[in-house]
Structure 1
Amino acid sequence: MDSSKFHQINLEDFKWINKPNEWSINNLNVLNVTTDEKTDYWEGTWYNFHHNTGHVYGLEINGDFTFSVCVEAEFTNLYDQAGLMIFLDDKHWLKAGIEYNDGQPMISSVLTNELSDWATGVFTGNPRKFYIRMTRKGDVVCVKYSTDNITWTLLRLCPMAFSLNKNPCVVGPMCCTPLRKGLNVKFSKFSITVPGDDILHSN
């Protein structure tokens, strides 16, 4: 997809990376997903796990974009997670959203450039319903989250190796349950727009 078509969001244009057994789209452009057993994205660090089995319902996008979505789920088990993902290949990707850790749902992001990092923080809003946004501008990605889709909080500003892969990146909702199956996630209010000049400080 190029920027001239950003206003025309049709979930039928998206494609699965690791299609789940249970999922549906309704006529309101709402995606419902139930995670398969032991699904995850992680590359190496600390655990020596190499997992690329999580569910991503992604759209190929050329160039710069701002992609946001509303995520609703009951996060109850260790490592339950849902949010957004930018996927280049198995060794280069970024995921962000809510992940259950240390006994509570945390706001979380993982950047993988051959190996994965991981950062979490306390989420002060309602983790059962939140908004997540990723903006690409050049080789930089800005990740923000919101509780009301109005006021956005910076989660991460990072480089990504877009130049290593000449194909369009894949962007879309992501969910995983590394230790179980059966997390029900609702994704709605999809938005893809052209990013503004100040991706770091603007809402």
Structure 2
Amino acid sequence: MLERGNWLNEPAEWGFEADGLRVVTGRATDFWRETHYGFTRDSGHFLGIATEGDFTAEVQVRAGYQALYDQAGIMLRLDEGHWLKAGIEFSDGQAMLGSVLTVGRSDWATGPYAGDPGDVRLRLTVAEGVVRVQASADGRRWGLVRLAPFPKAASYLVGPMCCTPERAGLEVRFTDFRLGPPLGRDLHDLA
């Protein structure tokens, strides 16, 4: 399914493998708009797959985060001013689970991840103007990371995202990407 995607900021080094997608990040790549730092960056790597309305997407992300702001995960995007990225980001000396929601300006929510940050599964559901982000260490129990309003649209772009604002060379593997209708599960259903 990832073969259907189109790159925003195609990395110099990437390729499809038997089990998914391998990417090596470019130098000084990032997604951010204004808040706290005062700058706007839209240079991160994102392989966007078009949806037909509301959806659920899942992906497994494997990477060895080392430098400040190394990050990889999943992205939801309408345009440069309306997007969400979620996944693992290296901050304060450790790999943290986090998300950034941008509706004009970016916010940032982050916290420790109890599982192995080098191997995390992410799920993103958009339904009726709400985005729900979940994470899982085993693909069976999906804890809530974020619940937020997001603009309704007839189509969205969703897919793997990675960037390294402070360096180049983070190698990331994205596997088990799935895209389908919204799951419709109760908020506290962790399955």
Q: Same fold (TM over 0.5)?
A: yes
Report the secondary structure of 2:147's partner residue.
strand
Matches of 1:35 and 1:102 in 2, distance apart? 21
Residues matched between the structures, number:
190
Give the AA of the match of 2:13: E
Report the secondary structure of 1:195's partner residue.
coil
Which residue in 2 is equivalent to 1:6? none
Give the AA of the match of 1:102: D
1:193 is displaced (CA, Å) by: 2.4
Report the secondary structure of 2:3's partner residue.
helix
Which residue in 2 is equivalent to 1:172? 159
Which residue in 2 is equivalent to 1:144? 134
Query: Does residue 92 of structure 2 align to residue 102 of structure 1?
Result: yes
Q: Deviations over 1:10-61 (max 9, x none)?
A: 2221110110000000233x10000000000000001001000000011011
* 8 Å CA contact 2:125, 2:183 repeated in 1: no
Which residue in 2 is equivalent to 1:134? 124
1:44-193 map, 5 Å: 44-163=34-153, 168-193=155-180
Matches of 1:176 and 1:12 in 2, distance apart? 20
Q: Deviations over 1:115-152 (max 9, x none)?
A: 00000011111111010110011110100000001101
1:200 is displaced (CA, Å) by: 1.8
1:199 is displaced (CA, Å) by: 4.8
- Which TM-score applies when normalising by structure 2? 0.96
Give the AA of the match of 2:41: H
* 8 Å CA contact 2:26, 2:168 repeated in 1: yes
Matches of 2:41 and 2:175 in 1, distance apart? 27
Where in structure 1 do 4 or more consecutive aligned residues deviate above 6 Å? none
Query: Does residue 30 of structure 2 align to residue 40 of structure 1?
Result: yes
Report the secondary structure of 2:29's partner residue.
coil
- Which TM-score applies when normalising by structure 1? 0.91
Distance of aligned partners of 1:199 and 1:187 in 2 relative to their CA distance in 1, 3 Å threshold: farther
Unaligned runs of 5+ in 2: none
Q: Deviations over 1:172-201 (max 9, x none)?
A: 000010010000000001112222333522
Report the secondary structure of 1:144's partner residue.
strand
Give the AA of the match of 1:156: R
Matches of 2:81 and 2:184 in 1, distance apart? 29
Which residue in 1 is equivalent to 2:21? 31
Query: Does residue 191 of structure 2 align to residue 201 of structure 1?
Result: no
Q: In angstroms, what is the RMSD of aligned CA positions?
A: 1.1
Give the AA of the match of 2:8: I
